[in-house]
Structure 1
Amino acid sequence: MTTLLSVQDLRIGFGKKTITEVVKGVSFDLAAGEVLAIVGESGSGKSVTCSAVNRLIDFAGGHILSGKIDFQRRDGSRLDIAAATEDTMETIRGAEIGVIFQEPMTSLNPVLTIGEQVAEAFRLHHGLSGAAAMQAAQQALERVRIPDAARRLKNFPHQLSGGMLQRVMIAMTLACNPRLLIADEPTTALDVTTQAQVMALLAELGRESGMGMIFITHDIGLVAAIADKVMVMQNGQAVEFGPLDLILDAPQHPYTQHLLRAVPHFENGDAVRRDLDATAPVLLDVTDLTVRFPVAGGFLRPSPGAVHAVESVAFTLRRGETLGIVGESGSGKSTTARAILNLVTPVRGDVQGNADGAVQMVFQNPNASLNPRLTIAEILAEPVIAKNKRLTADDNARMTMLIARVGLPEDSLTRYPHQFSGGQRQRICIARALMLNPKVLVLDEAVSALDVSVQAKVLELLIDLQQEFGLAYLFVSHDMAVIERIAHRVAVMFAGQMVEFGDAAAVLSHPQHSYTQRLIAAVPSTHRRHQDFALNTTEIPSLVKPKGFEPAAAEWVSHGPDHKARKE
């Protein structure tokens, strides 16, 4: 096979007067049509290495200190990217080297519609204009399984979920048909079925065009499914490199062995917790929770109806219990969580137990939920001040106790968020949520952005805190292996409705609804090598319903003492 990319002894530094070397002599080759997975924890240098391949580090204060990046262009000529001019790089970025970033909100323009941004790729790289570019944009959104693609073209980024936004980014990148695709944690925010579809799309494009791909991820199961080669990075160095099977089956470096041990493996319900007290008091009782968002009409046109985001959701949550909510992006799981805290207003339904301060929330991205200008003490004081207007000596003592309890040093209170790692910042968010001594914590994808070893430690912390304080958790996640390890019961959501509910072991080991079965079948595993992801073209049902529409009452079928599924 033709060598598409050859990186030789690459060294990268940051700084002006004093250069700090962060990538130290990395080398690897990538053939056309081949997939290289780069794994490693935050700060290992994997993203910086890939940013050098299309010279994006130039805009972040980075410098290629030495080494060669030999790239075969579309016309067959070869170019040393390390020595290329910026004018040359402008002709390569997007057109020949595409990038999908982890956080789509930082990559999309908040004041332009989704349609305008996707259509731009077709205007710049395919010469389309006007209606033709917009039609191509709609087809691109449909290809990545965005429901109601025609309507979504008119949406702005803030109106879409994180998973939807990532699919938009993927649609934009694939529109250019690049020779090389760099995917930096592109499926972190995606549920397993959407992740499988994204991988199917990328694999399909790779087969059609011979596109090479560098895939940065911490999901070892996904690595097993797609990669041909694996490079493991630690502290700016490639500590192990080789064919997939050798790395997974016979890892030689201690760090690789550590990473593989830390990976949460999905075990079809065998790893669920067994410590639930079924007689514990109910702390949260949700009945008939329904959330709908009106769809705006046009000039002299009435509104066509409403988005039925959440439809008649009901459940109870006991002291010491974790209810895991799983489902695709856009299924309504995060909207359900937000409605419980009155962050969105339901059109009907009742939530008992969400008295002021009794329910607190931990969000997915600690970077976005911590004010960078406040010290940790000021951040922890925010919920207390919002409720009581003043701090007491007991509040200050609770701050010190919680910081120690989440495993951070006492001097953390005088420091700022940027002085902590991602895992430490999420611990700060957990401590803040506990300041008002709540009964229930709502955790919305609270560990999905963390490295696997950090993720495992945070999950252990959450379980310890739950047992110590008698907390109930509503745990929203797309990661079935994480749900299996923390949840006592599981609720599966699809298209705004709950389709299966019950004991975690029963639901995960014997799923009854066809959607739950598809979810579990799509979970990546280190045992499934070079998985052939089949592209699913099944249409996701539209959540937009006409004005006055009311769905039929759900019919449920019992499959055990604590296991039921919606009749299909």
Structure 2
Amino acid sequence: MSPLLSVFDLHVGFGRDPQANRIVHGVSFDLAAGETLAIVGESGSGKSVTALSINRLVDFGGGRIVGGSIKLRRTDNSVLDLTTATEAALTKIRGAEIGMIFQEPMTSLNPVLTVGTQIEESFRLHRGLTGRQATAAAKDALDRVQFPDAARRLKYCPNQLSGGMLQRVMIATALACNPRLLIADEPTTALDVTVQAQIMALLAELKRETGMSMIFITHDIGLVAGIADKVMVMQAGRAVEQGELNQILDKPSHPYTQHLLHSVPHFSAGRAARSDFSRDETATTAPALKVDGLTVRFPVSGSFFHRPTGEVHAVEGVGFDLLAGETLAIVGESGSGKSTTARAILGLVKSTRGTFTANTGKTADRTSAVQMVFQNPYASLNPRLRVDSILAEPIIAAGGRASGKTRDRMAMLLKRVGLPENSLERYPHEFSGGQRQRLCIARALMLSPSVLVLDEAVSALDVSVQAQVLDLLIELQREFRLAYLFISHDMAVVERIAHRIAVIYAGQIVEIGDAASVLSQPKHSYTKRLISAVPTVDRRRENFALDTRQVPSLVRPLGFEPAAPQWRQFAPDHMAQAEA
């Protein structure tokens, strides 16, 4: 039988002269009914452009298919070349026969329309449903993706839902009309590991139910191992290698595939945890940062006069110490309180109570002793300022003046993070994502801090660039004896950089200790669930299990004080909260 989709010698270009500005060069592949093809590669490799070309959405982004064919076998076994199809024919196919899930649900959904209205649109366009019929179909679509309280939440706008819930809305919309082909473009990149596991379980379950084919675009090799039948590796707009899953993962032949597999941090349940730091050897020194009883609560207003009726217990009684030269990773789901903890330490969020002390023994000077590197290097740098002005900002903010010594330090730090000295005269848009994050690291080091807070500092980077930045952070830590508070949802990255791990659940630390011990022998049920959700290369075509448990509400009545947690010690540097 002929394949469901056949792409042959596809060429795609952009701009006024797309023939001269080709982004995709001669890509070919076949996809059978019920089969999953994973397309992997770094940013700029052409994988998303290839996917957008299949249903001709690339036309709306300034792109043009300038060569090749994309043939789709229809339900009546006729074959349609999508490269020459009319817009009217494509409108009938998009959504009905080819569904698509985009990477960022918040920008893919209309912020001023309810999610119900947006799901109903598919049923109105492709099935002719209206009124209550369309609403009932939308509710059924949300029920199908295990969406809690679907009937009520049809009336919610996107800003009222979490990232995981929004991605379920996107999946429900894409699958509304039972498409025979689903294109998923990085559908779990922005999600926490447990939510990611649920989305993967959901896709696998729906695939088994409907027998649909899937093109899954990702840079996460662990996810590829769990869901793909075939893999295509793309570099610079070309398919450099493709074949069966086991062949690509176990015996890659192209140098780029080998590089990609080598660069990606592979989770190994603590076996790869760092062992270059000993707390015993530094036990007599004061911590670089000590946090005690940190609590952050936000008022909830519900009365007519906006008087607070309760509080969100975002962070509750968090405490830890961080030694010079040590990395403490804070892990947990979105909404668990890990980023709020970091922002409270830096004074970006007002704490309800709790103390922070730096290695001077005084209250931490948040403009010098503790500095932060943010997640998005594109949004962290002022596009109107040159690099020399950007690096001078911390000095000026701390009350100092830019001088010759300041410029000497800039040059030293740029060299240390692997950037040329002439970078000082350039603007942020002249740098790649990895280079921008290196600039952010250099800026954070301008005041010679003792602690760096890294909030998802490598999650927005390509896998090979991510590996380079992680290596740089480890080198800088050894050289300057920096203490890192490393916040991440990527357990493979955490394993690579952390000496200790604190697991946060519902605003509280539930387990803390040596990284190797926590990852290899988790004691708290939430930590076990977190680690079991991590995809690895060893788990091939995994049967993802759907877990519908929800994080408990953090809203409490005014004046509510939780009971003090009871701790159990499992090793010299490993303890967890006792569970009821």
Give TM-score scaled by structure 2 length: 0.89
1:242 is aligned to 2:253: no
1:14-71: CA deviation from partner (whole Å, max 9, x where unpaired):
2214721121100011122211111112221111111111222212221111111112
Which residue in 1 is equivalent to 2:347? Answer: 342
Distance in 2 separating the partners of 1:191 and 1:145 = 17
Q: Closer, same or farther in 2 for the Cα pair 1:25/1:382, shift >3 Å?
A: same
What's the % identity of the aligned pairs?
68
Aligned pairs (5 A) from 1:144-163: none
Distance in 1 separating the partners of 2:132 and 2:293 = 43
In the alignment, structure 1 segments of 5+ residues that lack a partner are none
Q: Higher mean Cα deviation, 343-352 or 62-71?
A: 343-352
Equivalent residues of 1:164, 1:330 under 8 A apart:
no
Which residue in 2 is equivalent to 1:489? Answer: 500
1:479 is aligned to 2:482: no
1:289 is aligned to 2:289: no
What secondary structure, in the 3-state scheme, does the structure 1 residue paired with 2:83 have?
helix
Q: Closer, same or farther in 2 for the Cα pair 1:342/1:58, shift >3 Å?
A: same
Distance in 2 separating the partners of 1:473 and 1:142 = 42
Distance in 2 separating the partners of 1:130 and 1:547 = 42
What secondary structure, in the 3-state scheme, does the structure 1 residue paired with 2:379 have?
helix
1:139-196: CA deviation from partner (whole Å, max 9, x where unpaired):
7667767778788777765666655554554444344543322222222222222211
Shift of 1:408: 1.5
In the alignment, structure 2 segments of 5+ residues that lack a partner are 359-363
Shift of 1:127: 6.3
What secondary structure, in the 3-state scheme, does the structure 2 residue paired with 1:528 have?
coil
Distance in 2 separating the partners of 1:153 and 1:386 = 46
1:365 is aligned to 2:370: no
Distance in 2 separating the partners of 1:86 and 1:475 = 49
1:105-164: CA deviation from partner (whole Å, max 9, x where unpaired):
432444556666556556666667778877876776677677787887777656666555
1:185 is aligned to 2:196: no
1:356 is aligned to 2:361: no
Which residue in 2 is equivalent to 1:442? Answer: 453
The one-letter code of the counterpart of 1:222 is L
1:358-411: CA deviation from partner (whole Å, max 9, x where unpaired):
222222222222333333333323333333374222222222222211111222
The one-letter code of the counterpart of 1:330 is G
Q: Closer, same or farther in 2 for the Cα pair 1:560/1:226, shift >3 Å?
A: same
Aligned pairs (5 A) from 1:411-430: 411-430=422-441
The one-letter code of the counterpart of 2:365 is A
1:377 is aligned to 2:388: yes
Which residue in 1 is equivalent to 2:361? Answer: none
Which residue in 2 is equivalent to 1:400? Answer: 411
Distance in 2 separating the partners of 1:137 and 1:409 = 55
Equivalent residues of 2:303, 2:309 under 8 A apart:
no
Give 2:540's match in structure 1, choosing from 529, 535, 540: 529
Which residue in 1 is equivalent to 2:11? Answer: 11
Shift of 1:421: 2.1
Shift of 1:532: 0.4
Equivalent residues of 2:347, 2:366 under 8 A apart:
no
Q: Which one has a bigger Cα radius of gyration?
A: 2
Equivalent residues of 2:513, 2:573 under 8 A apart:
yes
Shift of 1:420: 2.2
1:515 is aligned to 2:526: yes
The one-letter code of the counterpart of 1:307 is V
Aligned pairs (5 A) from 1:218-237: 218-237=219-238
Distance in 2 separating the partners of 1:194 and 1:441 = 28
Q: Closer, same or farther in 2 for the Cα pair 1:474/1:167, shift >3 Å?
A: farther
Equivalent residues of 1:144, 1:197 under 8 A apart:
no
Shift of 1:550: 2.8
Distance in 1 separating the partners of 2:117 and 2:298 = 23
Shift of 1:231: 0.3
Shift of 1:212: 1.5
What secondary structure, in the 3-state scheme, does the structure 1 residue paired with 2:424 have?
helix
Which residue in 1 is equivalent to 2:49? Answer: 48
What secondary structure, in the 3-state scheme, does the structure 1 residue paired with 2:295 have?
strand
Distance in 1 separating the partners of 2:462 and 2:96 = 31
Equivalent residues of 2:92, 2:126 under 8 A apart:
no
The one-letter code of the counterpart of 1:338 is R
Which residue in 1 is equivalent to 2:566? Answer: 555
Q: Closer, same or farther in 2 for the Cα pair 1:147/1:287, shift >3 Å?
A: farther
Which residue in 2 is equivalent to 1:64? Answer: 65
Q: Higher mean Cα deviation, 174-183 or 307-316?
A: 174-183
Distance in 1 separating the partners of 2:354 and 2:151 = 31
Aligned pairs (5 A) from 1:117-128: 117=118
Distance in 1 separating the partners of 2:125 and 2:307 = 36
Give TM-score scaled by structure 1 length: 0.91
Distance in 2 separating the partners of 1:366 and 1:139 = 40
1:205 is aligned to 2:206: yes
The one-letter code of the counterpart of 2:48 is S
Give 2:330's match in structure 1, choosing from 325, 347, 369: 325
The one-letter code of the counterpart of 1:355 is D
Q: Closer, same or farther in 2 for the Cα pair 1:432/1:207, shift >3 Å?
A: same
Distance in 2 separating the partners of 1:244 and 1:492 = 33
Shift of 1:9: 0.6
